[in-house]
Amino acid sequence: MTRSHTNQLTMTRDLVNKRLHPTCSASVGASLTATDDVKPWLSPSGDFAFGFQRIQGKDSFVLSVWYDKIPDKTIVWYPQTYAMVSRGSKVELINGCGLVLKDPQGREVWYTSISVSDVACGFMNDTGNFVILGNNSGKVWESSNSPADTILPAQVLEAEGEINSRKSKTDFSRGRFQLRMLQDGNLVLRPRDISSNFSLYAYYTSDTYDANNSTNSGHRLIFDSTGYMYILRKNGQRFDLTPRGRLPSGDYYHRATLDSDGLFTQYYYPKNPTGNASWVDLWFVPSLNDSVNARSVCSLDGNRPKCECPEGFSLLDSSDLIGDCKPDFTPTCYEGYAGDQFDFIGLDNIDWPGSVYANILANNEQSCNISCKEDCLCAVAIFKDGECRKKALPLFNGRKVTDSVSKKKPKNPYPSSKVVETNLPHFTYQELVEATNGFRDELGRGAFGIVYKGVIGANVVAVKKLDRVVQDGEKEFQTEVNAIAKTHHKNLVKLLGYCDDGEQRLLVYEYMNNDTLAAFLFREMKPSWTQRSYIAVGIAKGLAYLHEACSTQIIHCDIKPQNILLDEYYNARISDFGLAKLLSMNQSRTNTGLRGTKGYVAPEWFRNAPVTVKVDVYSFGVLLLEIVSCRKSVKAYESGDVYGVVILTDWAWDCYQEKRLDAIVEDDSEAIDDVKKVTTFLKVGLWCVQENPGLRPTMREVVQMLEGVVEVKEPPCPFPFSVTYN
């Protein structure tokens, strides 16, 4: 087909789309580029615009929807996952994809998720909703279904729907507060930990959940076209949020925004202003008596929070006046700790609810202070009604109260010790019982315990209930949790919290929705070689980080496909790292009584030889051979009356020696076409499974070889000695 014919077909399709969809402002192929003079796509009335706005005081832009007739161009929608872009970025309406946002180098940074292959056009409507239509004239995407920090009239927030604040007026990345319509019928406001995306305890709840009469529970949040916001109950009754009779008479714009300071506020603005006009708040939650800030102490000055850090703390970011507070000293615990380097500051009418890790009986405030002083974890002691409540860092939701509070502070600044307290949330056992619905939904079992699916706040989590820890394992548990909490790598599963309540030891992890590598690898249809090779490199990088980049070296001791999880983008995420030390020897098994799993354990486990990071290298070598071949490390077979097992490492060496790579990848055309990389991966795997640990490469060297940075030499026979697994 010639170019002229192609252009003619495109013009014809555009004309057809304009006849079928006269409101469409963007046909397939239409685009906007982030520059100062770019003209947006307007709604029919001109009230709303879609396009790029330059961020005040910055040479960057935000893809957004805004009120175009208001002088400050108030933004009401933006993509939360990637809002701010550089000058020269481009958004385009593409067939089969919808809106696609690319940076100046042409890399995709955000796109709409649509369920059809054909896109007709897009348009900005007069309710502030940008809509993409399919060729059947049906809506295939609309911005109102993916709200940012604002809800507009005619918009509905269904159960499990949410909006999130931005960090600040000029920072459109996701902030520290979230409004969510829970499945149980409650509308809640919660602070969230920005680094982990972990929701904390609610500082506001609508109380529209009825345990005795489920039909009276809330169902959805509605912001109707007249400007009233309410929660519609399942029985059809309303719970009003906008006070009756409070709406101003006349013609106004309305919006409800979760602001960066944590207040959810409904605003109005005159459509035909006289003189200088501004947005006026109609109502807001929470009330004046509630605090909304995550880690500083707040009260309300007029309608907005006024927050400050207590003595001994300062703002983490001096430009964020309602931001997190950090200690001006380094909290430490160490062997022989006696607390003699601390004294106390008395804080009047302040508390941090939800940070309690221990309640003890105390005769008076002085005995409570002594107990806190001698406890290296204790940062705050609150004495009330004969009870001493001890609280650890980090402190959340600071607010004014009437209790007597003593806060520990160092007598003099001192250096950090080897053990640093974790900033992870601490959960009680009962909280995790409720989060997992009584440990009902089992995700899997392993050497370290059973994993259950749970929900904490707005987050789906995986809760690992550990088997018996080593005798006198409290210090060991704390040390390992601290070590795990300090790891930050994209190929490791993130630890979100923990429980050490009585004899119970549980760990709360982020939930991986694409299951384990075992489920991905050993299925009927072989996964693509490109995916497999990408996953292999990711695992290698995660292990290299554990071995060399952590402040405390971590040996995993149980690398196998079941302990590699896959996130929503099929990135490999290593789980269970650092747990082997927590369990008694007979708990970190399998039948051999050794740490590790049969088929993956290094020979030194059987020889009472020193255990080093090279045991992980061996296990990774077995895993790498599994990834290349999609075969299990140990496979039983039956031939007539003969029964036996095939050991993958033996078989892979035989195939390599006999130059039978076709047998290794077996009918995998994609891998066969990439024979150079397959050969590299096979050779690396054989180097890793050498019986002599000294011949095995480090994981850093493994990464370099897999990525082609370092040449891979010919491996020797991995097993010059026989090994018995019985």
- Which of the residues are catalytic? 558
Q: For residues 662 and 689, what is the distance between their CA atoms, to the nearest angstrom?
A: 21
| Sequence-ordered list of residues with C-beta below 8 angstroms from that of 345, at least 6 positions apart, any chain | 310, 311, 312, 406, 407, 408, 409
Instruction: Record the tokens describing residue 149, joined without a space.
Output: 């920090």
| Burial group, residue 338, by CB count within 10 angstroms (0-12, 13-18, 19+) | exposed
The single residue listed with the structure tokens 């990464």 is 703
Contact 634, 645 (CB under 8 A): yes
The answer to whether 573 and 492 have CB atoms below 8 angstroms apart is yes
The helix or strand, by DSSP H or E, that contains position 164, with its residue range, turns out to be strand 162-168
Question: What are the φ and ψ backbone dihedral angles of 305, each rounded to 5 degrees?
Answer: -65, 140
**How crowded is the C-beta side of 23, counted as CA atoms within 13 Å?**
15
Taking the C-alpha atoms of residue 330 and residue 315, their distance in angstroms, rounded to an integer, is 15
Q: At 687, phi and psi to the nearest 5?
A: -65, -40
Give me the residues paired with residue 634 across strands.
647
Euclidean distance between CA atoms 696 and 718, whole angstroms: 10
465 annotated among ligand-binding-site residues: yes
Number of H helices, E strands in the chain: 12, 46
Give strand ranges (E) for 623-712: 634-639, 642-647
Residues 626 and 632: beta-carbon distance below 8 Å: yes
The DSSP symbol for 516 reads B
**SS3 per residue for 124-162:** ECCCCCEEEEECCCCEEEEHHHCCCCEECCCEEECCCCE
Helix segments in 305-415, DSSP class H: 365-373
Closest CA to 630 of 606, 679, 666: 666
Question: Is the previous residue joined to 286 through a cis bond, with omega within 30 degrees of 0?
Answer: yes
Backbone angles phi and psi of 174, in degrees to 5: -65, 130
Q: 539 Cβ partners below 8 Å, 6+ apart?
A: 491, 559, 564, 572, 574, 620, 623
Please answer whether residues 198 and 178 qualify as being in contact, where contact means their C-beta atoms are separated by less than 8 angstroms. Answer: no
Tell the residue number behind the tokens 């290794």, with chain if given. Answer: 664
Locate 481 and state its tokens.
Answer: 């949790």
Buried b (16+ CB within 10 A) or exposed e, 685-721: bbbbbbbebeebbebbbbbbbbeeeeebeebeebbee
Q: Are 420 and 479 in contact (CB under 8 A)?
A: no
Q: How far apart are CA 102 and CA 50, in angstroms?
A: 16
Non-local CB neighbours of 76 within 8 Å, separated by 6+ positions: 48, 64, 65, 66, 67, 128, 148, 150, 152, 255, 257
**Contact by Cβ (8 Å): 59, 87:** yes
Query: CA–CA separation, 117 vs 122, rounded Å?
Result: 15
Place of tokens 């097993």: 719
* Positions at the binding site for ATP: 465
* Positions at the binding site: 465
